[in-house]
Amino acid sequence: MVRRMMPVLLGSLAAGSLSAQGLTPVEQRIVDAIDARTGAAVALLERVVNINSGSLNPDGVRRVGDIFRAEFDALGFATKWIPMAEVERAGHLFAEREGTGPRVLLIGHLDTVFESDSPFQRYVREGTIARGPGTEDMKGGDIVVLLALQALADAGQLDRMNLIVAFTGDEEETGDPLSISRRDLIEAGRRSAYALGFEGGVGGTGTATIARRGFTDWTLQVRATPGHSSLIFRPEFGSGAINEAARIVAAFHEQLRGEEYLTFNPGLILGGTDVQLDDLTRGRAFGKTNVIADAATVKGDMRTISLEQRERTKRRMAAIVAQHLPGTTAEITFQDSYPPMAPTDANYALLARLDRVSRDLGFGPVTEVDPGMRGAADASFVAGVVGAVLDGLGVVGDGGHTEGELVDLDTVGFMAKRAALLLNRLTRDPVP
């Protein structure tokens, strides 16, 4: 059962308002190391933001990956670049080190939604705000990962840890099929006890993500008997393809809407006597008002909070489609994309551990984000194979996926401190 999510407001950081409480001497050294390194981390953020790494720019994605790879090499990680040319993407950066205790998977991504021809290309800083492609989604989150690990190394804690860092190169536009493009991430999840995702913190610094909705694409194809429009509804001609498509979409709306965390959106519809679907987003249709349409196609997506909700909704949609109007046939097909990340008890337990860390730092409580506020992310792919998942641990900003994207630079060190102390405690004292 999904627990009721608490409303959150975008948090702000007031200088001098934070004070550490209840930290061990080792944890205080970690915090001090982050303070000492934050300036260099912000400079590195500027460097990587100024390299275009749109998902379809493989050279740029690799260049950003090379920069992070050098940083992880310096920390003693065994790094590798996993090419993804077979799915027409740049590839992924993985870094691993063997230690003791539970293995933790740290997830980020190198790519952005802004391709080489976008006018939005450069990092611009105005006080504590930085604007630029990927500042918030999610090169800022990658920097949080690196800064936390550097501080753990400075405090002598990194060598004992069992870690995998996975920075994918196509999160914003995943390579197809997913069985290839997410193969290595899922395998890393199978080998890990916990997964921590560093997408931006939706709702401010006092939140984390314990659930995300997955999404499934669907395609409805309708066929009917063509004829003169004056003959429509006669037994030998029936109701036409467009009427049948309209019946089905209207029935989806009436019978399925209102269930918590379930959405379904018909995003494209074509109908007529000649329908050509060119790709997932566009097509052509020809028809005349005096001719019964013999074809219609509708494409949409469905978002669900659990596998059970996803499969149950598929069955309900298929049953509606099966109730054909006279003279028509219809078929619906589904293509699962990002799986749902359900709000499990283990995820809540991990959130409670983060909340304790945050309070001990003097940062205040951490509550869960309503999954209706979140899109899909790579953490969802490992949700079914690791013991517990927590996401939204990256920087806080605004305007993601738009030319107004920005990050509050004060949250770089803030979020790195929480992440580093969570790792330090989690690897010493696992969540039951």
Q: Quick check: 151 and 30 in contact, CB under 8 A?
A: yes
CATH of domain 217-336: 3.30.70.360
Q: Quick check: 201 and 328 in contact, CB under 8 A?
A: no
- Which pTM was predicted? 0.88
Domain boundaries, the chain: 25-212+340-428, 217-336
Q: What is the pLDDT of residue 50?
A: 98
Token pair belonging to 422? 């969570």
CA distance linking residue 247 with residue 296, whole number of Å:
12
The tens digit of pLDDT for each residue in 132-182 reads 999 999 999 999 999 999 999 999 999 999 999 999 999 999 999 999 999
Q: Is the previous residue joined to 266 through a cis bond, with omega within 30 degrees of 0?
A: no
Residues β-bridged to residue 84? 89
Q: What is the pLDDT of residue 278?
A: 84
> Beta 406-408 vs 129-131: how paired, if at all?
antiparallel
What's the length of the chain? 432
CA distance linking residue 195 with residue 163, whole number of Å:
10
Q: What is the pLDDT of residue 20?
A: 58
Residues β-bridged to residue 195? 105, 389
Q: What is the pLDDT of residue 21?
A: 66
Spans of the chain, pLDDT less than 50: 1-18
> Beta 78-84 vs 89-97: how paired, if at all?
antiparallel
Say which residue the tokens 């993407």 belong to.
Answer: 89
279, 284, 290, 296 alpha-carbon torsion, rounded to 10° = 10
Q: What is the pLDDT of residue 201?
A: 79
CATH of domain 25-212+340-428: 3.40.630.10
Among 324, 134, 333, CA closest to 218: 333
